[in-house]
């Protein structure tokens, strides 16, 4: 396999058979996609990383926190969630494309520009509403959740360059894409780009899970509770199941 001619293995994505056609600097001679003169090459890739605004939430009780979605905090057996931080690893892709219909019913899709955004504008942090916001327990839980916020910020930023490189490489090696149907949607194209970026995204997710998990061990909880000096972790009205230790 040469540097300027690569054909990716066929990938079934959203019911459409995708074929890659172009690698780096030249066409593969067997791919019938004439290079359009009305667009510029290479495709433009813009990559943005959010530094989200942290939104503190105090409207969910100990019963409700396990049902909050989008976090990586799993308490050890016998412990309960007293706060959660939503992770900030969302990836959004927007495309500008040029399409060429082929005589056999297929379509060539040229990527003109790809705009990627990693993260979200807001990151929500929850502290159980069972703890008044002036209490020792509230302050202790909030300090713990702020550690999760910092982990998420640091890990996402540390992967930004790798994510950008994975996207740029994916665009360069697969432009144009050939679809078997002319009824191709942008979601199918972005889905293929997500697929090419998946190894890097999976590595980021694994690091987030590992570092966040290190904060949520029995030893870490015991140490933080002891250092806090707080005494009222289970105030009146807290569900009985939450008192299990």
Tokens of 32: 């019938």
Nearest to 21 by CA among 113, 93, 107, 115: 107
Q: What is the DSSP letter of 87?
A: -
Q: pTM (2 decimals)?
A: 0.74
Render each residue's pLDDT in the chain as its tens digit; 245 residues: 223 333 323 332 333 333 333 332 233 334 578 888 888 878 899 999 988 899 999 999 888 888 888 887 777 777 788 899 988 788 899 999 988 888 888 888 999 999 999 988 889 999 999 999 899 999 999 999 999 999 999 999 999 999 999 999 988 888 888 888 778 888 888 888 999 899 999 999 999 999 988 988 888 888 988 899 998 887 765 554 444 33
CA atoms within 13 A on the CB side of 195: 15
Cα–Cα distance list, 175 to 23, 114, 155, 191 (Å):
7, 12, 30, 15
Tokens of 65: 């926190």
Q: By three-state DSSP, how is residue 206 classified? A: helix
């Amino acid at each position: 396999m040469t540097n300027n001619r690569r054909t990716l293995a066929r990938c079934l994505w959203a019911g459409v058979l995708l074929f890659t056609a172009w690698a780096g600097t030249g066409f593969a001679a067997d791919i019938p996609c004439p290079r359009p003169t009305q667009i510029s090459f290479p495709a433009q890739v813009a990559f943005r990383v959010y530094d989200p605004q942290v939104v503190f939430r105090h409207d969910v009780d100990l019963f409700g926190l396990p049902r909050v979605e989008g976090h990586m905090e799993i308490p050890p057996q016998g412990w309960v969630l007293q706060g959660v931080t939503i992770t900030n690893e969302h990836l959004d892709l927007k495309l500008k494309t040029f399409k060429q219909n082929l005589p056999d019913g297929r379509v060539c899709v040229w990527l003109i520009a790809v705009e990627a955004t990693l993260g979200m504008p807001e990151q929500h942090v929850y502290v159980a509403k069972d703890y008044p916001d002036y209490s020792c327990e509230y302050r202790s839980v909030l300090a713990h959740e702020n550690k999760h916020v910092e982990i998420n910020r640091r890990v996402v930023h540390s992967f930004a360059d790798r994510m950008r490189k994975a996207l740029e490489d994916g665009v360069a090696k697969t432009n144009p894409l050939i679809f078997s149907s002319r009824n191709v949607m942008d979601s199918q194209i972005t889905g293929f780009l997500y697929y090419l970026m998946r190894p890097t995204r999976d590595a980021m997710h694994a690091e987030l899970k590992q570092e966040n998990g290190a904060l949520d061990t029995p030893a870490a909880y015991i140490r933080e509770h002891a250092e806090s000096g707080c005494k009222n972790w289970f105030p009146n009205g807290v569900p009985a199941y939450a008192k299990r230790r």
